[in-house]
Structure 1
Amino acid sequence: MGTPYRVAIWGPGEVGGAIARACHRRPDTALVGAKVFRERKHGADLGELVGIGPIGVAATTSRAEILALDCDVVIVTPRPGVLGNELDTDVIALLESGKNVISTASYHNPAMPNWLSATRPPPSRLLKACHTGGVTLHGTGVHPTFMVERVAMTLARALSEVTHVRCVEAVDFAAASGSMWGGLRRLGFGLDPAEVKAGAPLALFGDLYYGDLTGNVAHHLYGVGMDEVKVVHDLRGLPAEERYTTRSGFTVEPGQTAALHLTHRGFIGDHHFFTNEECWYLGPENAYLGDDLPFADHGTPGPINYTIEITGEPSVVRTRVAFEQNRAGANPDRTNPITGASVQAVLDALPAVCAAAPGILTDDPRPRYVHDARVTLEGAAS
Structure 2
Amino acid sequence: MGTTYRVIVWGPGEVGGAFARAAHRRPDIELVGAKVFSERKDGADLGDLLGLGPIGVAATTSAEEVLALDADCAIVTPRPDVLGAKLDADVIALLESGKNVISTAAYHNAAMPNWLTASRPPVSRLLEACRTGGTTLHGTGVHPTFMVERVAMTMARGVSGVSHVRCVEAVDFAAAAGSMWGGLRRIGFGSDPADLGAGKPLALFGDLYYGDLTGNVAHHLFGASMDEVRVVHDLRGIPAAERFETRSGFVVEPGQAAALHLTHKGYLGDHCFFTNEECWYLGAANAFRGDDLPYPDREGHSPIDYTIEITGDPSILRTRLTFDPNPGASGTDRTNPVTAASVRAILDALPAVCAAGPGVLIDDPTPHYVHDDRVRL
TM-score by length of structure 1 reads 0.97
3-state SS, counterpart of residue 114 of structure 2:
coil
**Would the aligned equivalents of 1:141 and 1:342 in 2 still touch at CA under 8 Å?**
yes
Give runs of aligned pairs for residues 124-139 of structure 1, distance below 5 A: 124-139=124-139
Q: Which amino acid aligns with 2:191?
A: L
**Would the aligned equivalents of 2:18 and 2:335 in 1 still touch at CA under 8 Å?**
no
**Would the aligned equivalents of 1:326 and 1:334 in 2 still touch at CA under 8 Å?**
no
Give the CA deviation at 1:161: 1.0
Please state if 1:295 is matched with 2:295. yes
- Within 1, Cα distance between the matches of 2:329 and 2:321? 23
- Within 2, Cα distance between the matches of 1:279 and 1:7? 34
- Within 1, Cα distance between the matches of 2:154 and 2:42? 44
Q: Which amino acid aligns with 1:98?
A: G
Percent of pairs with identical residues = 76
Please state if 1:199 is matched with 2:229. no
| Aligned twin of 2:230 | 230
**Would the aligned equivalents of 1:163 and 1:311 in 2 still touch at CA under 8 Å?**
yes
Give the CA deviation at 1:335: 3.3
Give runs of aligned pairs for residues 52-71 of structure 1, distance below 5 A: 52-71=52-71
Give the CA deviation at 1:180: 1.3
3-state SS, counterpart of residue 278 of structure 2:
strand
Deviates more, 1:183-192 or 1:92-101: 183-192
Aligned residues: 377
**Would the aligned equivalents of 1:45 and 1:58 in 2 still touch at CA under 8 Å?**
yes
Deviates more, 1:367-376 or 1:173-182: 173-182
TM-score by length of structure 2 reads 0.99
Give the CA deviation at 1:191: 1.1
- Within 1, Cα distance between the matches of 2:292 and 2:334? 31
Deviates more, 1:330-339 or 1:117-126: 330-339
| Aligned twin of 1:351 | 351
- The 1:43–1:113 alpha-carbon spacing in structure 2 relative to 1, beyond 3 Å, is same
Q: Which stretches of structure 1, 4 residues or more, deviate above 6 A after TM superposition? A: none
Give the CA deviation at 1:234: 0.2
- Within 1, Cα distance between the matches of 2:158 and 2:51? 44
Q: CA RMSD in A?
A: 0.9
Give the CA deviation at 1:333: 3.1
| Aligned twin of 1:380 | none
- Within 2, Cα distance between the matches of 1:328 and 1:151? 26
| Aligned twin of 1:95 | 95
3-state SS, counterpart of residue 333 of structure 2:
helix
Q: Which amino acid aligns with 2:120?
A: R
Residues 307-334 of structure 1 deviation map (CA, whole Å, 9 limit, x = unaligned): 0000010100000000111316643534
- Within 2, Cα distance between the matches of 1:83 and 1:43? 25
| Aligned twin of 1:176 | 176
- Within 1, Cα distance between the matches of 2:148 and 2:301? 21
Give runs of aligned pairs for residues 234-253 of structure 1, distance below 5 A: 234-253=234-253
Unaligned runs of 5+ in 2: none
**Would the aligned equivalents of 1:333 and 1:340 in 2 still touch at CA under 8 Å?**
no
- Within 1, Cα distance between the matches of 2:169 and 2:49? 31
3-state SS, counterpart of residue 333 of structure 1:
coil
Unaligned runs of 5+ in 1: 378-382
